[in-house]
Chain A
Amino acid sequence: MFEGESPENYEQKCLCMLVLDTSSSMAGESINQLNRGLSNFHKEVIEDFVASQRLEVGIVTFDSNVICIQEPKLVNNFEMPTLYTNGSTKLVDGVRMAIDIVENRKKHYKESGQNYYRPIIVLITDGEPDSDQDITGLSKEVSSKIASKSFMFYSIGVDGYNHQKLNQICSTPPPQPLAGHKFYEFFKWLSNSIGIITKSTEGETLMLPPVSDWTQIQM
């Protein structure tokens, strides 16, 4: 019988930045279900051996403040934090911070000689940005970065979100409304999708799982 040992190669990295709304309107069932979804996402990625070696997760929260509560790390290397709500909705600042983190992380990957997949930014919000937030400027930046294949961008609207404003930030792909509080189902879809992305051989056309389990309308 054939036999042979394998070398200890490191895996290529896939960065997923979660940009999460923790403003006051998310209080109650929304934040509880979001925390439950995050916890399950963490567990499912750890259980997928290949994804757990490749996926780095970072988390930015935005309310009256914008904070990176989790720098990008492999899921095995951090505990999923519990989120609490407070204040208004500095959504644009939150997305901008995530974009900066993505750019810095890509620079780090390049400088340290690591192979990487195209990063993913996932925005989740139930409202609309504060009135002083520069939606037009962010929209241009996101469109330009998607066109130059800097990252993939998905926006998810929780009950009561402003579809028009979210669509203004990124219309391709369009924002997806979350049915009820189906964060658990959304993060299950995300972990399955990341499983596919981190195992793809070419990143242009990805057959991601159907979104019907967690959204109100089909893409």
Chain B
Amino acid sequence: MQEPNWIFAYASVIGNSHISENIPCQDTCKVENYKNYSIAVVCDGAGSCINSHIGSKQVADFCINHFKKLISAKKWDYSKKLPSIELWHKSAKETLFSIKEDLDNFSTKYNFDFKTLSCTVIVTIAFKHGLLVTHIGDGRAGYCNFKDEWFPTIIPCHGEEANQTIFITSDIWDDEIIDTYIESNVIVDKVKAFCLLSDGCEKASFECNLFDQENDKYFDPNKPYLLFFNPNVKILPQLHEQKKTQEEINSLWGKFLTDGNEKLKVEPDDKSMILGVRFIQEPLTENV
């Protein structure tokens, strides 16, 4: 059996405020490995929407199916290079629109108010030669190259108030405004690891609200935090080599996201994070 190109730890854990208010975990994360690529999805259900836990699960499932079809149709899984940013963004937009339509059909079939299924979505598709990323909402994502430099791959979308964002169900599907709300990026780099996460994990894992003393201003560097990610980029392959199953790895990851450090422990919101690490049993060459 062929080893996957990427190994993963992924989990969604319920937030403290959802436990105390008896609300289900509204996040979903999902990973599928295919022959030459992997698809990773994180969806964060809107806190105020009663069925958003169902919406986030549906959207994650739809993403896996639709983006798999897209890659097969475009033959990107056998291509030696990634598509251009223009082509990827257009394709991602059309695919996310189809997913929105599927969710609408699902809401009609099962008699849910469409807006009660609201959720954000981040999709990262990992190939040997780079990443395709697209998203709607306030999640964060990033990657690390083989020089151990971390970079963000998307910019979260925030409203004027702290708890506002947009969702796949929002009224954004107009040609004139849609590009404001869907961001897509192509990462052509030697990617060693990547992450995608719901906003419940951002304060623990990203530099996202720091104070600039010189300019007397708060700012959002949107930067994956090395001391958070680097230890785990080392640990994940070790667990894989110890022949831990995916379920065992995810269980350890879920425990870490629940109370692995003080920030994670006190976070009131649901937390979802996928960490993907390049599987490097074979020697990595400059041509990879």
Contact = CB atoms under 8 A, between A and B. Distances in A.
Q: Do A and B come from one complex?
A: yes
B98 interface: no
B218 A6 contact: no
Contacts of A111: 217
A116 B260 contact: no
B48 A113 contact: no
A201 B48 CA distance: 7
B161 A117 contact: yes
B227 A206 contact: no
Interface stretch (B70-78, B180-188, B261-269): B261-269
A201 B158 CA distance: 11
A14 B161 CA distance: 10
Contacts of B16: 199
Nearest to A10: B209
A115 B235 contact: no
Contact residues of A: prevailing secondary structure? loop
B280 to A, nearest CB: 19
Contacts, number: 126
A1 B164 contact: no
What interface size band does chain A fall in?
Answer: 35 or more
Task: Please classify how large the interface on chain B is, using the bins under 10, 10 to 19, 20 to 34, 35 or more.
Answer: 35 or more
B235 A117 contact: no
Nearest to A106: B160
A75 B164 CA distance: 25
A202 B218 contact: no
A50 B158 contact: no
A71 B268 CA distance: 27
Interface string A193-219: 001100111111111000000000000
Contacts of A49: 266
Interface string B259-288: 011111011110000000000000000000
Given A5-B225, A10-B210, A200-B163, 17 more contacts: A2-B231, A4-B231, A6-B225, A6-B262, A6-B264, A10-B209, A12-B162, A12-B209, A50-B268, A113-B217, A116-B161, A117-B163, A195-B17, A199-B15, A199-B268, A200-B48, A206-B48
5 contacts: A3-B260, A3-B261, A11-B209, A196-B17, A200-B163
